[in-house]
Amino acid sequence: MVENDKKNAILKAISLSELYITIILLIASIVSQNLYILLILGSLFTKHIPEQIFKRISEKFDWEIGRRPPDAVDCNSYNSGGPAKGSGIISGHVFNLSSLTFFLIYSFTENSRTMTTKEATLIAILFMGIFSLIYARVELHCHTKEQTIIGFVGGAIWGYIMLLLVNKITSLSERLQNDKTKISSFINGCQVMG
């Protein structure tokens, strides 16, 4: 029983990745005074649009794929307890991390550019995070495998939409363009942002 409690505690910690990402991006944007990071963070919150559309349609038509596992508890954003309510389609946790990962892939490979080793390493780490998160959400009985896969694929698509949105807004501001360059230099050259 103690071993199972430890495992669940680790899975719940993994499941909080959405919170970790938000905190890291918020702190990074404040410390560096980089508006481009704040724009990425804001665009991540747009994930609620397709997520809610999928969930409402799934609930309206009572799709089986949308139902959470029967023993789903502690499944909200902060694993804060209680039975899971509403549709489980899509896994919002997986969708969010997948959106960020694919946004970065699309950003790093824009204009037929090849990713640098540091960019590829960051993407590899994020993919390990995604697969750990998928495992955690399924093992915690918050989602079925299919729901996490839908979250992953939806995130890949939403990451591209985020790129289009962020690029459009960035093109309107010299400050955002400069901040984007600083982020790229930071990732590739490990320079201090500022």
pTM over 0.85: yes
Q: How confident is the model at residue 81, as a pLDDT?
A: 61
The answer to whether the bond into 14 is cis (omega within 30° of 0) is: no
> In sequence order, which residues have a C-beta less than 8 Å from that of residue 46 and are 6 or more positions away?
158, 161, 162, 165
Distance separating alpha carbons of residues 14 and 17, to the nearest angstrom? 6
Q: What are phi and psi of 19, to 5 degrees?
A: -65, -45
Query: pLDDT for 135-167, tens place per residue?
Result: 999 998 889 999 999 999 999 999 999 999 999
Average the pLDDT over each of 3-7, 18-22, 189-193 and give the range with the smallest value.
189-193
Going by pLDDT thresholds of 50, 70 and 90, the confidence category of residue 88 is confident
Q: How confident is the model at residue 63, as a pLDDT?
A: 83
Q: What are phi and psi of 86, to 5 degrees?
A: 80, -175
Per the model's pLDDT, the better-predicted residue between 113 and 102 turns out to be: 102
Listed by start position, the domains of the chain span 2-189
